[in-house]
Homo-oligomer: A and B are copies of this chain.
């Protein structure tokens, strides 16, 4: 374990402890909220990092499966605690906010930085993953759009929205499973049978830290959500803005800043894969999984979003497909993605 890694892990521990202290000491809402948000962002990174470390002991396939399931653990806890407190709008917007934040903001920065790092100003990457992600997003978007319009127009199907959502969630999860299987198989084939580089961290340490990160994320998520409602009321912001911007960036986007770093180093394919895999995972694994898990809650999760957000989601899916499907992206295209996110964030500010 390098010294900087150890320093970062220690920092995450300290900030998480501070978040707990502030929570139980009844500190001023805003302070407790900001510290919990920082701790959450740190734990999101820690879970993601230790998942990768565990994976190194077993090869790319296992790493992929672990990342595809555990990668968004903190996000999962945030939504669960939001639902348990009846904050359905925050829960919904945390999830679609993760999609927007990753697909527009983080991907936009990755492209801006990545096109700069390229000699001719064009960032090049394999178009396969972007196209697969577009397919998964269109499938998830299909059910979100249908549910949203059904709820808005109060048609007959809107009475059975929980049943329909649950069946659709199973269908999406099956497709996601098929995709992960095929994707990992072709990735390991590409990686070949050569000797793997030695793992950087003992297996026991990795698993211990992953467990610690997971448990920490569970606690901090609760503190974070606890202080969210008073913060919303105190600042007078909308639930939509809180979910779409604040929660999404804390719980998800910071962790993917690593994509921007990779893009700056010229590792275009890796940078794109960090962001795109995360988008695919939230849309086609985390969201349907939470729909099913929430069946056990009093306040269940569905995606009966307001029409504005249904349209925003549909157009975002189309935009990122349009920009990345050819395996090339320029500075201007990254700027367009960021601008789209800014426009959307401004919109939620006035809701």
Contact residues of A with B, CB < 8 Å?
121, 131-132, 134-136, 138-139, 141-143, 145-146, 149-150, 152-153, 155-157, 159-160, 163-164, 167-168, 171-172, 174-175, 178-179, 182-183, 186, 238, 306-308, 311-312, 314-315, 318-319, 321-323, 326, 330-333, 335-336, 339-340, 342-344, 346-348, 350-351
Contacts and interface: CB of A to CB of B under 8 A. Distances in A.
A146 B308 CA distance: 6
A346 B307 contact: no
A311 B171 contact: no
B315 A350 contact: no
Most buried by B among A163, A307, A321: A307
21 contacts: A131-B322, A135-B332, A135-B333, A135-B336, A139-B339, A142-B319, A142-B343, A146-B343, A146-B347, A152-B153, A153-B306, A155-B306, A155-B308, A156-B238, A167-B346, A168-B343, A175-B335, A182-B330, A183-B332, A314-B315, A318-B318
Contact of A315 (B132, B135, B141, B348): B141
A238 B159 CA distance: 14
Contacts of A323: 135
